[in-house]
A = this chain, B = another copy of it.
Amino acid sequence: MKSNSESMGVGSHRLSSRIRRGDVFSEDCPSRGVLLHATSRWGVLVLVALVEGMHRFSDLRRKITGISEKMLAKTLRDLESDGFVLRVAKPVVPPHVEYSLTPMGLEISGHVAELADWIELNIPKILKARERGR
Contacts and interface: CB of A to CB of B under 8 A. Distances in A.
Interface of A: 1-2, 4-10, 13-15, 17-19, 21, 23-27, 30-31, 34-36, 38-41, 44-45, 48-49, 51-55, 59, 63-66, 80-83, 86, 98, 100-104, 106-108, 110-130, 132-134
B8 A53 contact: yes
B111 A27 contact: no
A23 B45 CA distance: 11
Tallying the copies of this chain within the complex gives 2
Given A82-B130, A83-B132, A102-B129, 19 more contacts: A4-B106, A5-B100, A8-B53, A9-B53, A10-B52, A18-B52, A19-B120, A19-B121, A24-B120, A25-B65, A31-B119, A31-B123, A38-B119, A80-B133, A83-B126, A83-B133, A104-B122, A104-B126, A111-B111
Residue of A5, A101, A111 with most partner-chain B CB within 10 A? A5
